[in-house]
Amino acid sequence: MKNTPFTQKHIALGAKMAEFAGYNMPISYTGINDEHASVRNNVGIFDVSHMGEFILKGEHALDLIQRVTSNDASKLTAGKAQYSCLPNEEGGIVDDLIVYCIEENKTYMLVVNASNIEKDWNWITRFNTNNVEMHNISDKTCLLAIQGPNATKLLQPLTDMDIMNLKYYTFTKGRFAGIDNVVVSATGYTGAGGVEIYFENSNGAADIIWDKMMELGIKPIGLAARDTLRLEMGFCLYGNDIDDKTSPLEGGLGWITKFTKDFTAKDILEKQKAAGITRKLVGFEMIDRGIPRHDYVIKDANGQAIGKVTSGTQAPSLGKAIGLGYVAVEHAAIDSDIYIDIRNSLVKAKVVKVPFV
């Protein structure tokens, strides 16, 4: 297993550690419910340094990004970021990612999922026919997510950058906690507000910034609470809710699929849009008692299979069980009754709007 620059910090703090995407990562510290509430109501810090970062540079960098991603990166100006995905040639999803515009038409950073770093790099390289300069900076880049409604207020004294007024999906770069060249981005995977900070671990930067967070009393949070937080927002998790066999249209990502430009599988997805999708990712809450789990079968009232659960949990903010899953479109309308097959029992649930909170 790989370690992040913060692994020993997590262990010293008593975190429950486990393998995730090939890394030794903190799963929880004080418990999911406690950590979840800290982020929703106050502030918490996640080590997400296992994520991947690529730099693309040169006069054809934007052309390459436009070719391989579904969203329209030409809309980005310096200091703005964009959620997107990499479609495969069958209309499925290689990965979802964030595109950061560092210098318009010249320099971009792509942030990809930890488990897909090599796959994504090889996929993008395959289409790099104009010698775009590509750098995989994943191993030397630290990424901390400081999330929660009080995050920027706590962090503002550490920098001259105006991070309290950063608009969603914008970023700035400067000196933070005495460390130069720190990217502070108004992004995150919790829906609770806050920022993500990227920096190179040189001259002890990781220790300096982490220790400063602890001095501020920011609670460390594990990946288990990160999952419950993102699920309450209805955010997709690659490998669960979207994958190589799900299309962005089926996964509710039509809003990042722009047919005004050419990209991989554009024709397939245009045809799918015109014909209408046959299944759809929906949010649901349990009416009867039971926890939906990944791959549980979703059925109709007659016990006929109509889909599958992709993510499910007991939502700490709601005190009820919720989930995401693909169902046949005729069962996807809000307030539709569906049934989760839990240990051979049909447990009633209802399709609801996301986010859940």
pLDDT band at 253 (very low <50, low <70, confident <90, very high): very high
Q: Tell me if residue 338 falls in helix, strand or coil.
A: strand
pLDDT band at 208 (very low <50, low <70, confident <90, very high): very high
Number of domains in the chain: 3
CA geometry: angle 227, 5, 175, nearest 5 deg: 95
For the chain, the average pLDDT equals 98
Six-digit token pair at 165? 């007024």
Q: Hey, what amino acid is at 343?
A: R
- How high is the pLDDT of residue 46? 98
Q: How far apart are CA 47 and CA 62, in angstroms?
A: 30
Q: What is the pLDDT of residues 155-196, one digit of tens each?
A: 999 999 999 999 999 999 999 999 999 999 999 999 999 999
Q: What is the pLDDT of residues 306-341, one digit of tens each?
A: 999 999 999 999 999 999 999 999 999 999 999 999
Q: Tell me if residue 306 falls in helix, strand or coil.
A: strand
Look up the CATH number of the domain holding residue 224: 3.30.1360.120
Q: What is the mean pLDDT of residues 66-93?
A: 98
Is 156 found in the same domain as 131? no
Q: How far apart are CA 113 and CA 93, in angstroms?
A: 12
Q: What DSSP assignment string belongs to 85-141?
A: EEE-TTS-EEEEEEEEEEETTTEEEEEE-GGGHHHHHHHHHHT-TT--EEEE-GGGE
pLDDT band at 128 (very low <50, low <70, confident <90, very high): very high
Q: Tell me if residue 172 falls in helix, strand or coil.
A: strand
Six-digit token pair at 31? 């418990």
Q: What is the mean pLDDT of residues 123-142?
A: 98
Is 160 found in the same domain as 20? yes
Q: What is the pLDDT of residues 237-248, one digit of tens each?
A: 999 999 999 999
Six-digit token pair at 174? 């400067």
Is 338 found in the same domain as 228? no
Asked if the bond preceding 220 is cis, omega within 30° of 0, the reply is: no
Q: What is the pLDDT of residues 259-311, one digit of tens each?
A: 999 999 999 999 999 999 999 999 999 999 999 999 999 999 999 999 999 99
Q: pTM for the whole thing?
A: 0.97
- How high is the pLDDT of residue 270? 98
Domain closes at, from 137, 157, 182: 137
Instruction: Report yes or no on 254 lying in a domain.
Output: no
Look up the CATH number of the domain holding residue 115: 3.30.70.1400
Q: What is the mean pLDDT of residues 70-95?
A: 98
Is 64 found in the same domain as 27? no
Distance of CA 163 to the CA centre of its chain: 21
Q: In which domain, by residue range, is 336 found?
A: 278-352
Distance of CA 342 to the CA centre of its chain: 28
Q: What percentage of the chain has pLDDT greater than the value 90?
A: 100
pLDDT band at 25 (very low <50, low <70, confident <90, very high): very high
Six-digit token pair at 269? 């997805």
Instruction: Report yes or no on 265 lying in a domain.
Output: no
Distance of CA 250 to the CA centre of its chain: 18
